[in-house]
Amino acid sequence: MGRRDILTYHKIGSQFEFGITSVTAERFAGHLDLLSSAGKRFCNATDLVFDGADGNGIALTFDDGYESVYTHVFPEMSERGITGTIFPVVGSIGRDNTWDVRLSFSRFRHLSWEHLAELARCGFEIGSHTMTHRDLTRMGTARMRRELRDSRRLLEDRLGVEVSAVAFPFGRCDRRVMDEAFEAGYKCGFTSSPGASPSVMAVGRMGVHTMDGEAAVARMLGLRPGRWLEVLKNKAIANLALLTTLVKR
């Protein structure tokens, strides 16, 4: 399949951390205004994969399922009549992010089940980011199966929605992971690799980080020259993220 314009966010807000996954609420609103003025058609991620929106679609995805998606993202997107796709770490719903390497003075809170239910009622797609956010490629098959299947089953049982998509932790997958995800009932899977996707089970996305203003987002989407710079930056950041997999196994 060809390239799909899919952006990945993590935390939205001003809570301090030493990492690069937080985007301020003001900057995020500016991104939305940019995309709206460019005439982009906002879609949920699964719909974009199978529909394509005539080449003019874009999907905003939110990995990890932080509470800031409800407090900052939801109001901004609702005001504009658009939705996106949320990939929560299912075992951490309603809890602090103890699964992650600590890069701030205080922990970040995850969305609650009540938050997710309201977001789903308002049209947001809910996907899985597995149970514990461990690197699936380094797991035995039985444990990987539990990560994929238990997270999907729990989301569907608690929220009463179909869970069609999975975002692989750290964006990492291989043929074994993709096959298991398909067997678990997912229709599509998402990585952190920008560019064309070899399969609907390994759809590429472009990450948005702390330093990325409107010009960077415009380059990511080909709205201005220099997309190759953003591709290189995303690949470099994805490689750095591998260090986390060595600490959090």
pLDDT digits (tens, 9 = 90+) for 145-194: 999 999 999 999 999 999 999 999 999 999 999 999 999 999 999 999 88
* Model pLDDT, residue 239: 78
Is 103 within 8 Å of 46 (Cβ atoms)?
A: no
- Indicate whether 181 belongs to any domain: yes
CATH of the domain at 147: 3.20.20.370
* Model pLDDT, residue 1: 66
pTM, to two decimals: 0.94
- Indicate whether 166 belongs to any domain: yes
Mean pLDDT of all residues in 53-80:
94
Is 5 within 8 Å of 221 (Cβ atoms)?
A: yes
Mean pLDDT of all residues in 130-149:
97
The C-alpha torsion from 14 through 16 and 19 to 24, rounded to 10°, is 10
pLDDT (tens digit per residue) in 195-229 = 777 899 999 999 999 999 999 999 999 999 999 99
Q: 174 — alpha (psi -120 to 50), left (phi > 0) or beta?
A: beta
Which tokens belong to 226? 């220099």
- Indicate whether 1 belongs to any domain: no
- Indicate whether 167 belongs to any domain: yes
Q: Is 160 exposed, middle or buried (0-12, 13-18, 19+ CB in 10 A)?
A: exposed
Is 242 within 8 Å of 170 (Cβ atoms)?
A: yes
52 pLDDT tier (thresholds 50, 70, 90): confident
Which is more confidently placed, 117 or 106? 117
- Indicate whether 28 belongs to any domain: yes
- Indicate whether 48 belongs to any domain: yes
pLDDT (tens digit per residue) in 1-35 = 678 899 999 999 987 777 888 999 999 999 999 99
Mean pLDDT, rounded, of the chain = 92
Residue 128 is classified by DSSP as B
Whether residue 116 has pLDDT greater than 70: yes
Could you tell me the residue range of the domain that residue 206 belongs to?
6-247
CA 168 – CA 162 distance, rounded (Å): 18
Give me the number of domains the chain comprises.
1
246 pLDDT tier (thresholds 50, 70, 90): low
The C-alpha torsion from 138 through 89 and 130 to 243, rounded to 10°, is -20
CA 225 – CA 157 distance, rounded (Å): 45
Residue 129 is classified by DSSP as -
Q: CA-CA distances (angstroms) from residue 183 to 64, 79, 161, 179?
A: 23, 38, 19, 6
- Indicate whether 65 belongs to any domain: yes
* Model pLDDT, residue 243: 61
- Indicate whether 238 belongs to any domain: yes
